[in-house]
Amino acid sequence: MNFNKTEFYASYGQFKQIPESEKPEVAFSGRSNVGKSSLINKIFNRKNLARVSSVPGKTATINFYSTDNICYIVDLPGYGYAKIAKDEKVRWSGLIEGYLTADRDIALVMQLIDMRHPPSADDLHMIDFLVEAEQPFVIVFTKADKLSKKQREERMNGFAEEIPYFDQIETIEFSAVTGEGVEKIRSIIEEVTQQEEQ
Ligand code: GTP
Ligand code: MG
């Protein structure tokens, strides 16, 4: 798969606007500001494919990117951002839940969690939801460059206690700054989208 052949495809603000799946999709989920857009830019070698912002809540729509005519990369809106109006929150959760519960060709969900902190209640709710829905997923720990070796060890031990079924979940430590984890994520994307084609 040529990861450089990734283009913006479409953006949807309402679940009902999303057309039926025509290719396998790899979706990126996580709280606002966790680094979803930065990760997508890094994986696909593009500076501004997805909008990065220090202001949380930047990605308020579901954004589809098409990779090499093989699969869609789906940037879900970040959840858990307190400072937005309640009806906006309802729209966001409707979008995310609608997307994940519809009968779509979702090959994998990459659940992003900020490596510096214990998972939020929303993160744990999301993981629970993915387990219950039997939706294949992996966890990507983001912003790994911000921790020392010791802090990383402590956090990984913490996650093992805090996240249910931790030993059964594939995890990737990632940094959009150093590029750690990029190759692993690319090979997972290739693996899950090609399996589906057989
Ligand atoms: P929303 O679109 O609001 O949901 O946020 P997002 O999850 O797309 O986060 P985004 O990629 O916009 O990044 C949020 C902030 O974190 C920005 O200031 C990024 O520069 C920073 N950031 C993202 N990834 C990393 C990383 O791996 N390391 C460091 N040091 N900073 C990062
Ligand atoms: Mg974003």
Give the pLDDT confidence score for residue 94 in this predicted structure.
77
Ligand 1 proximity of 146 Cβ (cutoff 6 Å)? yes
- On the question of pLDDT at 30 being above 60, the answer is yes
User: What integer is the mean pLDDT of 91-112?
Assistant: 88
- Structural element, H or E, at residue 88: helix 86-101
Ligand 1 proximity of 31 Cβ (cutoff 6 Å)? no
Atom of ligand 1 nearest to the CA of 77: 4
Instruction: Using a pLDDT cut of 90, give the percent of the chain over it.
Output: 63
How many angstroms separate the alpha carbon of residue 133 from the centre of ligand 2? 24
How many angstroms separate the alpha carbon of residue 32 from the centre of ligand 1? 9
3-state secondary structure of 7: strand
Ligand 1 proximity of 63 Cβ (cutoff 6 Å)? no
* Mean pLDDT of the residues in the chain: 89
For CA atoms 28, 70, 65, 22, the dihedral sign is: negative
Tell me the pTM: 0.92
When mean pLDDT is compared across 12-16, 84-88, 109-113, the lowest value belongs to 84-88
- On the question of pLDDT at 198 being above 70, the answer is no
Chain centre to alpha carbon of residue 7: 17
Q: What is the pLDDT of residues 124-133, one digit of tens each?
A: 989 998 998 8
How many angstroms separate the alpha carbon of residue 62 from the centre of ligand 2? 10
- On the question of pLDDT at 95 being above 70, the answer is yes
Give the pLDDT confidence score for residue 156 in this predicted structure.
97
Ligand 1 proximity of 36 Cβ (cutoff 6 Å)? yes
How many angstroms separate the alpha carbon of residue 30 from the centre of ligand 2? 9
Give the pLDDT confidence score for residue 81 in this predicted structure.
66
Q: How far is CA 186 from CA 21, 57, 59, 67, 172, in A?
A: 21, 26, 22, 12, 11
- On the question of pLDDT at 197 being above 60, the answer is no
More confident: 140 or 80: 140
Q: What is the pLDDT of residues 167-189, one digit of tens each?
A: 999 999 999 999 999 999 999 99
- On the question of pLDDT at 138 being above 90, the answer is yes
42 CB neighbour count, 10 Å cutoff: 22
Ligand 1 proximity of 53 Cβ (cutoff 6 Å)? yes
Q: What is the pLDDT of residues 38-76, one digit of tens each?
A: 999 999 988 777 776 666 555 578 899 999 999 999 998
Ligand 1 proximity of 175 Cβ (cutoff 6 Å)? yes
Ligand 1 pocket test: pick from 40, 41, 51, 52 the residue with the most ligand atoms within 8 Å of its Cβ: 52
How many angstroms separate the alpha carbon of residue 78 from the centre of ligand 2? 7
- Nearest-ligand number for the alpha carbon of 30: 1
